[in-house]
Structure 1
Amino acid sequence: MAKTIFITGASRGFGKLWAEALLQRGDKVVATARDLGTLDDLVAKYGDNILPLQLDVNDRAAGVAAINKAKEHFGSIDVLINNAGYGLFGTIEETTEQEARGQIETNFFGLLWLSQAVLPVMRQQGYGHIIQVSSVLGHATLPVLGLYNASKFAVEGLSETLAAEVKGFGIKVSLIEPNGFATDWAGASSAQTVAMPEYEGVRAAFQAGLTDDIFGIPEATSDAVLKLIDSENPPLRLFLGSQAYPWVKQVYESRYAEWDSWKEVSAAAQGK
């Protein structure tokens, strides 16, 4: 049965790939972008099955208006995919206040505003699925991506809490956590701090780790996303790519070992 999916950041990358995969199989898609011209090819190909909407996710009122327009146009919103976001590359010391606020504003608050906006619609329907595009960097971290890491850790905590709060309304929440993929996320979609020479070694080590073999093929993710959308019992978290699971497993094993070595100190701090 065809579904209606609202997806942000549909102008390029994962957003556009997934929007087209959904349209190809007959779903109805509300596709948002800052520049509607980037959606002209999908509109020409899929006609009335796509509703393109101009949206800056940082504008909370515009997000509410877009959700309401989508509901009015298609009659329901079965799935919200919060995909809009970008990467800020730079060390924490290099990051300006404006850069830091911009990263959190888009990656975290933009996602929060759309989630809040769609909840009344889904509660009234008695069903819905909110899919948050997080990252493997919501579990593990990399130098030079500190603010991006922080934004995705925040998305993880928000979404896990949201899942518990809305379960009783028939609303499901899932986090998609990709490892690196060969999209333009690190290119045209990214921002850069002004580099400090003191961190040249850190940046060089980061760049040396970006070998081609670690990046997945973006088009290969569509099938997994369609399966997630169609699942009657979707997982709270879904890794995308072969690198994510082993990396995060290694990270958590290291954390458990460290926690275990300090457990007596931790227990004594209870005071009783």
Structure 2
Amino acid sequence: MATGRVWLITGASRGLGRAFTEAALARGERVVAAARSVEPLDELTERYPEHLVRLPLDVTDRQAVFHGVEHAAAAFGRLDVVVNNAGGMLYGMVEEATEEQIRAHLDVNFFGAVWVAQAVLPHLRAHGGGRLLQVTSMGTGGGMATVGFYGAGKAALDSVSEALAMEVDAFGIKVTIVQMGGYNTHLFTVGTTTTQPLPQYQSLRTKMEAMWGDAVAPEPGTAAPVIMELAALPDPPRRLIVGSQSFDHVLEMGQAQMNLYRSWEHLSRIAPG
């Protein structure tokens, strides 16, 4: 009989989800790896036949999520660590995005994560607790041109996760908002929906593309040790920035926001509320 904790990882077929899956398996843990397409996990299934269960799952389908989580919990008899990682990118200016694109994007990045959280909570509570890692982004503190809807979905998940952490703490369920930095996950290629560009934004688009630059992001596997250690902490933090450069950027953004508030404090304090 296999030993160790049981993980449920969504978006497990590529990028960060794949890296977290491999790291958990390498430590002798058992993993239910969920993804829309599980074929990329064939090689891992061959290497870890007793420790890995593949779960085809579209997180935008709430009923399918609840059925899938029941299957996941039954696979190894319990769930201990849930990594809410599935997501995608909507790239383009706010005005350019269609209603269909916006709704489809938020169905994955926000509502899909909410459905997973709702579905796993009864199982974690039934076993006296567990870990729920909500994968968001280091950029949730403010929007940025061309990736506004990505930031919006992750910021919404941030806020809901803060509330959720307060609600489930008494059950021994620890929620951590994992604010990921930039990693080479192919999110801007495989996982991206692009808007139809409007010519009015071309100069800004060019500027943003130059700002993103050609720098090579670190591989997802370099973030996996952080997740492994985080999941093992007896008293994990409510929030954690993953990435040294991202940590510095978040502090800079926070300071800039504080400076802005202070510069207009006189106007804010006119109102008594």
Structure 1-normalised TM-score?
Answer: 0.96
Return the alpha-carbon distance in structure 1 between the equivalents of residues 93 and 126 of structure 2: 44
2:198 aligned partner: 196
- Does residue 221 (structure 1) correspond to residue 199 (structure 2)? The answer is no
CA-CA distance at 1:219 after TM superposition = 1.6
RMSD value, Cα? 1.4
1:57 corresponds to which residue? 59
Displacement of 1:223 in angstroms is 0.7
Q: Which moved more, 1:242-251 or 1:212-221?
A: 212-221
Matches within 5 A, 1:1-272: 2-213=4-215, 215-270=217-272
Query: Letter of the aligned partner of 1:88 in structure 2?
Result: L
CA distance in 2, matches of 1:162, 1:136: 19
**In 2, Cα distance between equivalents of 1:262 and 1:87:** 34
Residue 202 of structure 1 aligns with an amino acid whose one-letter code is L
Quote the Cα distance in structure 2 between the aligned partners of 1:139 and 1:3: 33
Report the AA paired with residue 40 of structure 2.
T
Deviation at 1:213, TM superposition (A): 3.9
Residues 157-206 of structure 1: CA distance to partner in whole angstroms, max 9, x if unpaired? 01111101111110000111122112211111111001111111111111
Farther-moved stretch of structure 1 (112-121 vs 35-44): 35-44
* Unmatched tracts of structure 1, length 5 or more: none
Bigger drift between 210-219 and 21-30 goes to 210-219
Query: 1:217 deviation in Å?
Result: 2.6
2:66 partner SS: helix
Count how many residue pairs are aligned between Structure 1 and Structure 2: 271
Report the Cα offset of residue 142 of structure 1: 2.2
Does the 8 Å contact 2:139/2:250 carry over to 1?
no
Query: 1:176 & 1:211 partners in 2: Cα distance?
Result: 25
Deviation track 1:2-39 (CA, whole Å, cap 9, x = no partner) reads 11000001111111111011011100000011112121
Contact 2:24 2:31 in 1 (8 A): yes
Whole-angstrom distance in 1 between the partners of 2:246 and 2:262 = 24
Secondary structure, counterpart of 2:96 in structure 1: coil
**One-letter amino acid of the structure 2 residue matched with residue 131 of structure 1:** L
In structure 2, stretches of 5+ residues that fail to align are none
Question: Are the equivalent residues in 1 in contact too, given 2:38–2:56 (CA < 8 A)?
Answer: yes
- For 2:49, what is the secondary structure of its paired residue? helix
Deviation above 6 Å: which 4+ runs of structure 1? Answer: none
Letter paired with 2:74: E
Q: Distance in 2 between matches of 1:226 and 1:112?
A: 23
Tell me which amino acid in the other structure corresponds to 2:38: L
Following the alignment from structure 1 to structure 2, what is the Cα–Cα distance between the partners of residues 225 and 216?
15
The 3-state SS of whatever aligns with 2:11 is coil
